[in-house]
Structure 1
Amino acid sequence: EAPINAIWEGSGNVQALDLLRAMAKTPAVLDAWFAELMKAKGYSPVLDQAIVALKDGFSDLSEIEYRARVLTEQLALTMQAALLVQAGNNSLADAFIASRLGGSVERNYGTLPRGLDLSALLQRANPMA
Structure 2
Amino acid sequence: EDSMMPRLYREAPVNAIWEGSGNVQCLDVLRAMQKSPRVVEVFLDELGAARGAHATLDREITRLQQDLAAPEDFEYRARDVVDRMARSLQAALLLQHAPTGLAEAFCNSRLGGEGQHNVGTLPRGVDCAAIIERATPQA
Q: Deviations over 1:9-31 (max 9, x none)?
A: x6211111111111111000000
Contact 1:106–1:112, Cα closer than 8 Å, also in 2: no
- The unaligned stretches of length 5 or more in structure 1 are 1-5
Name the amino acid aligned to 2:125: G
CA distance in 2 between counterparts of 1:46 and 1:23 reads 25
Residue in structure 1 matched with residue 109 of structure 2 by the alignment: 99
Query: What TM-score, normalized by structure 1, do the two folds share?
Result: 0.84
- Encode CA deviations 1:39-91: one digit per residue, 9 max, x unaligned: 11101000100111111111211111111111110110000001111113211
Alignment-derived partner of residue 80 in structure 1: 90
Q: Which residue of 1 aligns with 2:8?
A: none
In structure 1, the partner of 2:45 is 35
> Which of 46, 51, 70 pairs up with 1:60?
70
> Which range moved further: 117-126 or 18-27?
117-126
1:40 aligned counterpart, secondary structure: coil
**DSSP 3-state at the match of 1:42:** coil
Write the distance in 1 (CA, Å) between the matches of 2:115 and 2:70.
Answer: 25
Structure 2 CA distance, aligned partners of 1:103 and 1:24? 27
1:22/1:96 Cα in 2 relative to 1: closer, same or farther (>3 Å)?
Answer: same
SS of 1:120's equivalent in the other structure is helix
Retained in 2: the 8 A contact 1:81–1:96? yes
What is the CA deviation profile of residues 72-125 of structure 1, one whole-angstrom value per residue up to 9, with x for unaligned ones? 101100000011111132111111111110459743331100122223212212
Q: Aligned-pair RMSD on alpha carbons?
A: 2.2
Q: Of 99, 102, 107, which aligns to 1:89?
A: 99
2:20 maps to 1:20? no
User: How many positions carry a matched residue from both structures?
Assistant: 122
Indicate which of 76, 81, 86 corresponds to 1:71: 81
